[in-house]
Amino acid sequence: MNNHLRFGILAACLVLLSACSNLPAQTVFLHPDVSVPTGNVGKGKNIGLRVLDERQDKIVGYRNMDSSRSAPITVEGGLTGDIGDAASKVLIELGFQVVAPSEGGSRSLTIAVRELSYKASSLTVTKKVIVKCVLAARATSGPGVWEGTYPVSHEKEVVMTPDVDANARALNDVLTESLTSMLADPALVQFLGRESAQGKLIK
């Protein structure tokens, strides 16, 4: 192999490495669209709704396939507003009157975002992307308390590094699935709709 050919191959490799290591950061828009079986479970009762983002790091993950922790992915506008809107819509369809947390009296639902993560790694030929969402619910009804956790994880192999639309879809899918699992949980819905509680912790 002559020197010109060696130089050409080396230059091409350097260009590819530079392209991989200089991926741009991404900001994704997430709008969970939750659809669950409905009915007049709430019977017009007020319920205070609160959404908390308990993540320690607001960076969802990094696009690079190595451990350089570059090209971060973040969520536009945070998560609490869109989750609150989606949850309010479902609760209203279930017959509740959604009010501010301070106005809900003894009936409330707190939704906490424990995790929303994105992890990319390089395989031999393809790339692997793992996205995960964990939402937690804490409900009160009279003296009773109900708690539950709803983890969802999706794994996918891809050939090309996903663009912003593909990553937004992947993250929105796990967020929607986790929130749907929560709001479709019959144990949670029945607890919120019952007339009285026994003051014990139900998990």
CA 51 to CA 82: how far, in whole Å? 10
- Give CA 143 to chain center in angstroms: 30
Q: What is the pLDDT of residues 13-58, one digit of tens each?
A: 333 444 445 789 999 999 999 999 888 999 999 999 999 999 999 9
Helix (H, G, I), strand (E, B) or coil at 133: strand
Question: Which pLDDT score is estimated for 2?
Answer: 56
CA 38 to CA 46: how far, in whole Å? 17
Token readout for 148 is: 């539950």
Instruction: Lowest mean pLDDT of 10-14, 142-146, 191-195, name the range.
Output: 10-14
CB 27, CB 71: distance < 8 Å: no
CA 51 to CA 150: how far, in whole Å? 15
Question: Which pLDDT score is estimated for 197?
Answer: 43
Question: Which pLDDT score is estimated for 196?
Answer: 58
> Mean pLDDT across the stretch 147-167?
94
Query: Measuring CA to CA, how many Å separate 11 from each of 22, 66, 124, 161?
Result: 16, 21, 22, 22
Please report where in the chains the tokens 């991989």 appear, as a residue. Answer: 20
CA 191 to CA 41: how far, in whole Å? 10
Q: What is the pLDDT of residues 158-187, one digit of tens each?
A: 888 899 999 999 999 999 999 999 999 999
